[in-house]
Amino acid sequence: MDPIITVSNLNKTYASGFQALKSIDLTIQRGEIFALLGPNGAGKTTLISIICGIVNATQGQVTVDGYDIIRDYRAARKTIGLVPQELTNNMFDTIWATMKLSRGLFGKPQDDAHLEKVLRELSLWDKRNEKIMTLSGGMKRRVLIAKALSHEPDVLFLDEPTAGVDVELRRDMWEMVRKLRASGVTIILTTHYIEEAEEMADRIGVISRGEIILVDDKAALMRKLGTKQLSVHLQHQLEAVPPSLAYLPLALSDDGFALIYTYDALKEQNGIADLLRILVQENIEFKDLHSSQSSLEDIFVDLVNTSARPSTAVTGTAAAVESTL
Amino acid sequence: MNLYGVKAIYLFELSRLRRTLLQSIASPVISTSLYFVVFGAAIGSRMTEIDGVSYGAFIIPGLIMLMLLNESISNASFGIYMPRFTGTIYEVLSAPVSPAEIVIGYVGAAATKSVILGLLILLTARLFVVYDIAHPVWMLAFLTLTAVTFSLFGFIIGVWADGFEKLQIIPMMIVTPLAFLGGSFYSINMLPPVWQTVTLFNPVVYLISGFRWSFYGVADVHIGISLAMTLVFLAVCLAIVWWIFRTGYKLKD
């Protein structure tokens, strides 16, 4: 493992007293796509802003590529490209002028060929001499990405990159992110679209109310937390779930042609064998079986709701106390 | 030192001058011409010489200072306020540039514009009045020093302001009155003794007096004091800018 960003014990309390981040510990590996998932106001942007140097931390330490973001801020920041959430552009300037500004700001010598390559990849080359205010919303977002890539960063932060972006552009962006990763760039994206994380990420961190409540490989996360559903498609319609099956978590589909069984995929005894045996015993004929895993969205909603419910923490503690007695 | 960064900010800011060439250059030149027509030609012809200098020529340094102060403040305050207003400041804050480099970029560009403008006004004045410059090097030094100092002051206002009204209020309510009362159009020796003393609390008096000395070799206040006061004001502005970046005041949460 080769970490490129390490965040330790990071806290942020704004002047208003609002605590946006609570003791965040996080490690991002070189070359991965990491999705930071969380509802609005969870602290995603604050975390990114601290790493990039836009917001001061109240407490804690962050290193990027081994450089402390305060002590060695020049070396740390040089490696980072940031695409902010808001469409903040120099409205009255041309794409080309702002690209040159971005590259220079990050201490890189002029390289028009590189800027041209970035603009061409984002289909902005033909518009390079147009004022940004004349561009569409999707193009403005691409300009922000182009600016972040203008200085060839090793780490790219994409803060809600596809918010308000149409499906086609979203696909293009995902494609671009994959290409960047293939070229060795580490990508951290924040999103509250689950499908984005599911589609893109190698690892997923879930943040809620300023706390990282979970970090795991996407596949492992889905495996670990996923419940599965088995649909048994019936030959003949049923009026109700047979009484002999009532003890199982079974539901009958609206048309009466399918029984839907929800089970925990991780349990040794998941009850499927019992279910099928009873169906045979009851002479209920079935023609097809279909199992599906819960989506990341289900997992996410479940997690965030759990962390939002203070009673679970109390119960957890009580249980822990009980077990130690 | 991130020289590419400083250069990028400086050139980007100066490009605004090119884009807004007409209002940046034309309007101060036109308004200065109007001052010369009214005060220089119409009223000036009926005025006696001041310290051996014709009235038309006497007001040139004062007029240039008046424009220089206003333009330096408005250019620099606008230059840093706009990125704050639109949010593009994120890029500068996240870039590997030090506070000093940010200030050199923004303030340098604003001061450059002001100096160009000051020289343009000087040329324009030539169309109306004949004048000599006794100490051209000092004249340029005062011009540059004042442009830098007031661009720093403008930078501070641009960081402090949280609306377009506030950007206007200090130049309008404080700087313009101080410039008018600082001897742009008269020698403070023409005032009653009490007011002469009061006027000495006006920092702009020292700027205009020093600048006028570089033209005609005569001054209301000793040149050494003028220079010292300008440097004091520069030091105060630098200290405030240092504090802004140290605390992150209105730039960083």
> CATH 3.40.50.300 spans which residues of chain A?
3-223
- Helix (H) or strand (E) run with residue A19 in it: strand A19-29
Say what the pLDDT of residue B130 is: 85
| Predicted pLDDT of residue B64 | 92
ipTM of the complex: 0.86
The answer to whether the CB atoms of B91 and A93 lie below 8 A apart is no
CA B11 to chain centroid, in Å, comes to 20
Reported confidence tier of residue B38, pLDDT bands at 50, 70, 90:
confident
Q: Which residues in chain A touch residue B252, judged by CB atoms under 8 angstroms apart?
A: 54-56
**Strand boundaries in A30-182, DSSP class E:** 33-37, 59-64, 67-68, 80-83, 155-159
How close is the nearest chain A Cα to the Cα of B146, in Å?
A: 27
Cα B152 to the chain's mean position, in Å?
10
Has residue A325 got a pLDDT over 70? no
Q: Quick count: other Cβ atoms within 10 Å of Cβ A168?
A: 9
Residue B97 pLDDT: 95
Chain A to chain B Cβ contacts (< 8 Å): 87
Contacts of B24 (CB under 8 A, 6+ apart): B17, B75, B113, B117
Q: How far is A12 from chain B (nearest CA, A)?
A: 10
Residue A95 has pLDDT above 50, yes or no: yes
Mutation target vs A (from B17, B97, B102, B253; most A CBs, 10 A cutoff): B253
Check A56 against B95: CB less than 8 A apart.
no
Our measurement of the distance from residue B231's CA atom to the centroid of its chain's CA atoms, rounded to an integer in Å, reads: 14
**What separation in angstroms does the CA of B205 have from each of A20, A33, A46, A87, B174?**
50, 62, 48, 46, 14
Q: Do B9 and A105 touch (CB under 8 A)?
A: yes
What are the pLDDT digits (tens) for B59-112? 899 999 998 999 999 999 999 999 999 999 999 999 999 999 999 999 999 999
CATH number of A3-223: 3.40.50.300
Between B161 and A299, the more confident residue is: B161
**pLDDT exceeds 60 at position A317:** no
Comparing alpha-carbon positions, the chain A residue that sits nearest to B1 is A107
Query: What's the pLDDT score for residue A313?
Result: 36
| Higher-pLDDT residue of B176, B109 | B109
- Give the SS3 label for residue B45: helix
Range A84-91 average pLDDT: 89
d(CA A82, CA A101): 14
Is B42's pLDDT higher than 80? no
- Would you kindly state where each structural domain of chain B is located, as residue ranges? 3-247
* pLDDT at residue A99, as a whole number: 96
Residue of A nearest to B3 (CA): A107
CATH of domain A227-293: 3.30.70
